[in-house]
Structure 1
């Protein structure tokens, strides 16, 4: 007789102790004491099996519907903060008092969410809800059973996935989110562990509305639905302005993780200092897609993509404009005249009271929040300022601006401040140092020579150099399936993400494979001329290149088959074409640490010659300049002269001038001294008698002065 496995819900022979399909041990106890015992029944219809997963809000089991005869997933409402299950019991034990009320309120939300999601049976990206029921003093949702893996499991195994696949997954997630957002449901917990990919590739969003189940104002369960790297800043606030944009941020952060393999910096950290690296720093990605994702990951809601539909539309768009929101500055006191007078009157009253109580003296010349302690200054905002302007603004603020790095940026143009180490408004020591990073602008790349390369090899190289190929087909001199021409000349410097038109050869019409052709000697011939000549005999030249110190660039070095060999029309001769001396592009090492500069030079086959110099505005140990300009083409092995900052030049202390007494001729009549000289006694210090005179009268009453100062605030 067959029995059903509580691990996979498949049937197997009764005399087996382990399921032959999944290995589950028959009669195995539940994973935790508070989990339901495998084999339990719900509503006389659903068999409860092993645990699929559990957290602070509940437990999910594999199940079997004995009426419809199919596998299901059963989610049990079991918030550990409010209830538990005693061993060997099926009913829950709910804690009494306020927690009981919170348990019941949360359960109602649990069921309400399920009922609303049950309306999305036609939405492929949402797990289908079959049934809701109350039993064992709690509630259950019976839903579609999925076979596959979570996105988190996939990323744990693979590290990261390709951009195209990630975009497809993201679009499926956004489609599901758009559907639920339209009826007012917000997920609040989009992350790789809540995105499921079935065996047939269907993407499903799990655990909708998890945040709604937490009802305690002090609930520890919040940690479950606040996931560092994926949770936007508004979810950290108890009354944050949450909406579709909340899920948009999390979805974009999930995409970031998919393609880079790195969990993005937490939104709270980014709100203080945003150092999130663009995706293009990790992988090649179309600029419009990267911009769409970065817009969706804006920390501030004002600049963030507002809806799942808008995000999806931008992902598909050819061009997307980057949205940057300036950081909101603290109110420094631009008040209306009426408010100034009210504050002034209050300040006067407080001042009089304090003076009368002999507690403090009212000497403030402005609002307390605006006071800056002696010897300190507030840090100005230098982001997006030109380098020289930033240095001057720092000088005006009595701070020394020092550059310590240069980084690529798609938003901040080159030679402007990309970020500053100390946040605007921070109090720092007078004449202290403010370290900044300078933007290198959009990362540049160099267009390779793709002529004669097969499309598969071209696509791999495009990814390496950060270009986007736009392929078309036409007749050409090169073998069919290879590049016959390219829209941008080889070795041209362009922005990463630039689209490169590439013509793929269809060959030429004509040619008779029964006609023989004698292979000529093509060595030392110009490749273009030889290819043009051979196509007249319907023979293609398959071109590869190699560097040569002796053969000029573009000249054929060798061929196969050898001269004199008989071949047929439409066949191919392989030729090796000289690329001339090996040349490399000088990297930009300005404002890099010396170790990083040396590493960049070595990566490009170059050596460095180190010099030192003082610099007021480049941090010590950082490269101030290089003699060979970045991007210049030089022979491999060349030497690049660079200068390393020693920091500001030390101020030389002038040696104290020795004062020489003027020589005075001794008087002729002076008799020699017979006794040693004794120093004259130092007169005792005199103490001035205490004055009884009052200080000169002030020309302005202190209270009036404070009122005037308050009225001057702007």
Structure 2
């Protein structure tokens, strides 16, 4: 693509960027003589008619925008299968690169950038254009600090058609608004939500929502609350945090109503009277489904009426009224009998306890280092009781099942039957390995450290992967759910280096067979062979390779198109330009050096010739309709003159043969006896078609050949000119 002209106007200079949808090149606008940026649609989308239609329509709509904070779109075009957009070229970096280099940014810088983005969005919204893909990658910061919003032309087409394209919309899911994630129609407030996330990222250096997949991130936009930015950066004033909180509300009605309103808030949020304002509050809306506290319903006590009155019951006394009372002697006798029995039992208990208090003493043995079974036996043999609550835990240096502590020390004298608690070694408690596959390396390390693993136990191993994105974990050792010791086990994470790539070989100036062999050796596929004329590459050799240049990293299996030279184009004119030259002084040696320019390029050396007399030199030129020839003559390392050879004059045979005379007043030296002897010559061996060094006897033949050539190429020049030329040539041949 580099060196290629699009639309006959834009000459591609170099590749400056690219994403999942398109590649971006720096180019020269030959008509207006200015640098432009050209976004070229990737090959895999050139046959999607719906995408191309929307791509062109949206780009043309964005071309109507004219604002200092919006990258201007100059042109939209197509050349064969190449669809491109020509836009303003901005010298600088995109905001994503700046965030990676030095986030978090200074508060005033981040607010200034966000304010300019809001101004650009306000202009776009007033022109009924919704960006839909606001993210740091699409914000350019010029060398003068000017903020430029780009990608107005393809955002809508991208989001509707390429939801799975790596590095494009999948990357943009971190900046989706909730309504965008739902797939419903998005409006101006969706752009403001994305701008709030960009401001959040500039001030904290991280995104509000992260997840293992685009779907999980989209769900977080819909369901979860984000950590407030001041939690990560306490230097953020409350007024600035309020701007973020308001722009990132999940309910669009609670956000700013327009980009102009958000811009006004950004322009005033750093004023002294606003910096410490009250935190913005959003009241929760009533939800009929939310959990409520209801009063408990207590049952009425039995026998209580609904009015709370207790019903009146008839008592036995009412029935016994009027009957005579009799004495009951049975009750005192029963009480006396029970008292006697209790006294007898108490006497028996005292006697028994007294006997039990006389317990023999025993000495506690040392059971540390014994197995649990043997320790129990040793204690029981001494009349001691082993506690049922045995302490079992890992202790470094102690094998499982071995006693390492006892509650009664060796040699202690205790009563027989005393309880001893044992501490027994156990297997070291292991941890189940979690899954970190698919996470970025940094995320995986954070998760493993949370398990109690030291960072120096984590080893990284890089490998290629066609399925896992670069920087993400491909596999882990130990594997998922495997039990391991967090303090001792080495963790190995295999991290993706991306798809295995190869360097694109240089095919230029190679024959077709050589180029095909290089493509095959690199594991690439030759997609197409095209022919084109060339002034600089000889027939049958490669003039250019597309779509990637030599040295670019490409994936095995990528398709490559080569262009083969058919030689000079039909309109090329092979013209021999004649010029009469003389030495500085007649009879003395002078070195004549000639350089020229033609359709084959500039600064070409014809060669150097040493002469002592006037001679006619012929310089073969290749002329094109839009490229004239230029011949420059040097004598004795001094520049003499430059002669223009136009295509039209050469084609019509009207080119005048110039003559370079000796310096005025120069006379041949009196001791020069052979001014016509053979001249010495130094000629560039690579120059094709140069005449042999003439000698005195060959000049007339050369003159005759030249006359014949001029006769074939067109009408003869003015008579005076021809005579003058012949006189000079004849003079050079006289003895």
**Fold shared by both chains (TM-score > 0.5):** no
Tell me which structure has the larger Cα radius of gyration: 2
TM-score of the two chains, using structure 1 as the length reference: 0.37
Q: Which has the higher helix share?
A: 2
Structure with greater contact order relative to length (CA < 8 Å, sep ≥ 6): 1
